[in-house]
Amino acid sequence: MQDQEVSTTPDSKQVSPDLLVSNSATIVHNAKNAKASDSEVSPVNKISKVPPKPELSRAVVFLDREMSQIAFNWRVLAQAEDRSIPLLERLRYLCIVGSNLDEFFEVRVASLLAQNTIDGELAQHPSFLAMMERIATECHQLATRQYEVLNQEILPQLARKRIHLLRHTDRNEEQRAWVKAYFDREVRPLLTPIGLDPAHPFPQVVNKSLNFIVSLAGKDAFGRGTAIAIVKAPRVLPRVIRLPDELSTKGVSFCLLSSIIHAHIGDLFNGREVLAYSQFRVTRDSDLWVDEEEVKNLRHALQGELQGRQFGVAVRLEVAKNCPEELSHFLLEQFNLDADRLYQVDGPVNMVRLSELVDHIKQPNLRFPPFAAKASVKLSNTNIFSLLQKQDVLLHHPFQPFQTVIDFIRSASLDPNVLAIKQTIYRTGMNSDLMESLITAARQGKEVTVIVELMARFDEEANINWADKLQRAGAQVVYGVVGLKTHAKLALVIRREEGGVLRHYAHLGTGNYHPSTTKFYTDFGLLTAHPQMAAEVNEVFIHLTGLTKPNKLSYLWLAPFALQPQIIKAIRNEARIAREGRPGRIIAKMNALVDESVIRALYAASADGVKIDLIIRGACTLRPGVPGLSENIKVRSIIGRFLEHSRIYYFRNDLEHDTYLASADWMSRNLFRRIEVAFPILDKALKKRVMSEGLEPYLKDNVNAWVLDDEGQYERKKARAKQVVFCAQATLMQALGSVSED
């Protein structure tokens, strides 16, 4: 549910313990009192004449970013608790929470700890310690509830559906015999128990891997009393194993690899008594770092760093709930962790791996109904270039197929009139028809330029592999700009047409060129042959490859140069319109909102009477609905079947209805430390589509919507007694796609 781009990148400009909000309720109370005591309260459209109160300082007006990110995971967990959602999908949401928490610790918590570590010792600043205590409290409560839902709801209900996840005590004699044979045949040969002594120190433990700690009695084969052993679970084996059907007379049965090792761990220590044992898992700092200004070859440097990622600084330790205190304490010492970062869980230490159970089970009634995106009739059996000469094409994924974009690049790769293809790649996956088309184009002698972002977190290896293949095919591969991530989603085709004229065709998107994620991420894409806009896309490519100063762009907003100033300019324009007595209106949809300058501009616009609706899926540090500060701002979050990923900026602008789609959230990392592009929708009919598909349904949603209040709390929006139930995603699926009733 949390894709890799949401609210996780360390932001040195925004994260400072001194400046984090410590007591939301007190802050809002003070802000309200300050407004109430103002004897010159003006109507909304005149509020800007009232000077801001001094107590509304930076620490007051912004919500805590870390708490906001954790709150997002509580909303995802609520999906797992929702009994109206099919059972396997509820289990998948539990796995998503686990994955999100992993990344939160790997990146966000790791960054905070790194920023506050001096000479290997954590800073003892009170505000930093208070922040870490809040994070620990919330994350422990979240993890506890996650396993309660698993054990008290999901697994019992699966059992009633004749799907059994068997622990050792649940297995009958025949099943135990099969498990023993599986252990001896498949597992034991791959295990290497390590008894700890001076010659065998505590081993390197890979990030997020499954391991066991074992306490032993007696002496080893050499007469020594080694008391502790570590067993690493083989990463090459599946974590969920299905038992033969003949042993599952009451349905289908599965067991976990961890359960199999648990049951037979004593077999690894002949002549020793196993006193106690526990599974454990350590989460490490996984943010890659290379000095891009020093290395001569970024790709080679990253290949070396990828190995090191597995052994970064430990930030969290998970053990079984019944792990003896002396063993968990021993592990904390080995990983140099304090007790707050110990998580004792009632189940598998890596809940993410239960997604394998979801994949195993084929019962359609336990899943969401199948959904198939439908292509526009205009795009069927149509030459894409001929169509784009007549009109722009707006695509809304996953409600409309991403295959259209793949076909656009494939057609370009095979068209003899196409001379050049240029594309940015941030995430594309290990298998990609689109990338294969680029390779085909290069082999056919076309000028293919691909800007591959090697620092796309957790996709570095896939991107390095594609870069190698592209270069071998003859493509020009560029690794972006030193110090900046190339996050813009751009593709350009240059084609020679009648009269020898070169024409530009472009694709601009809000999401990645990734064939898998486009099936469950909501994103917009624009295919256009608009001469000026497509030419500006080419200017961006020239800027990125040649490292030249970009020419002035009239249509595209380009970060890190102009995107934030253009956003603030558009916000201030709405404020000016409101001050002049005309309606000011802003609607924005994105993954995260944490950039302080943009938030302050929104506050000022609110004070001038601009009506502002924000649809922010994840972290939001803007505090809505505070009198005198943000009473005209409403914030909601949509958590549904699909991951809301599109970025839309709408400004009414005296009925010009300026509508931009973008690759960027309103975060400092996007606005200043990435290459990002926002692009306008020029066609009036397509503007209406963006409004009617991307914004209006989400403002009406009373099924998957959560509303943020002025204290930083989210409340689920529910239909009132006589109100029609309305789900944005379901409505779009019915309108644009095909939902099976099977």
Name the binding residues for Mg(2+).
427, 457
DSSP string, 475-536: -EEE--BTTBEE--EEEEEEEE-GGG-EEEEEEEESS-S-TTGGGTEEEEEEEE--HHHHHH
CA distances from 51 to 54, 60, 205, 362, 574 (A): 9, 16, 57, 62, 20
Q: Which tokens hold the place of 157?
A: 């209900």
Residue 234 DSSP label: P
Those residues with Cβ within 8 angstroms of residue 413's Cβ, 6 or more apart along the chain or in another chain: 421, 437, 438, 440, 441, 444, 446
Contact partners, residue 133, CB within 8 Å, separation at least 6: 340
Give CA separation, 157 vs 90, 97, 163, 459, 562, in Å: 11, 20, 9, 36, 53
Write the CB contacts of 386 (distance below 8 Å, at least 6 apart in sequence).
Answer: none
CA angle 79, 509, 704 (to 5 degrees): 20
CA distances from 520 to 140, 242, 400, 404, 641 (A): 29, 27, 11, 16, 8
Would you list the DSSP string of 143-208? HHHHHHHIIIIIHHHHHHTTEEE--GGG--HHHHHHHHHHIIIIIGGG---EE-BTTBPPPP--TT
Nearest in space to 544 (alpha carbons), one of 561, 530, 525, 528: 561
Place of tokens 């004229």: 501
State the Cα–Cα distance between residues 630 and 628, nearest whole angstrom.
Answer: 6
What token pair was written down for 584? 């000011």
Answer yes or no: are the C-beta atoms of 522 and 398 closer than 8 Å.
yes
Cα 146 to Cα 98: distance, rounded to the nearest angstrom: 8
- Cα–Cα dist 60/62, whole Å: 6
Distances (CA, A) of 344 to 38, 81, 99, 372: 51, 21, 17, 41
Rounded-to-integer distance, Cα 614 and Cα 434, Å: 33
How far is CA 637 from its chain centroid? 15
Q: What values do phi and psi take at 276, rounded to 5?
A: -160, 160
Q: Which two tokens stand for residue 579?
A: 């001050």
> Which one, of 215, 224, 239, lies nearest residue 331 by Cα?
215
H helix or E strand, kind and range, residue 216: strand 211-217
Cα–chain center distance at 359: 21
Catalytic pick from 264, 396, 397, 487? 487
Query: b vs e for 236-264, b when ≥16 Cβ sit within 10 Å of the residue's Cβ?
Result: eeebbbebeeeebeeebbbbbbbbbbbbb
Binding residues for ATP are: 100, 521, 617, 645
Pairing of strands 194-195, 228-232: antiparallel
Residues linked to residue 240 through DSSP beta bridges, in sequence order: 256
CA 383: distance to chain centroid?
35
Residue 657 designated active-site: no
Closest by CA position to 575, among listed 612, 610, 626, 613:
610
Question: Which residues, listed in sequence order, are joined to residue 423 by a DSSP beta bridge?
Answer: 450, 491
Helix residue ranges, H only, 82-160: 87-103, 110-115, 126-149, 155-160
Instruction: Say whether 373 sits in a helix, a strand or coil.
Output: strand
Binding site: what residues are annotated? 100, 427, 457, 521, 617, 645
Active site residues: 487
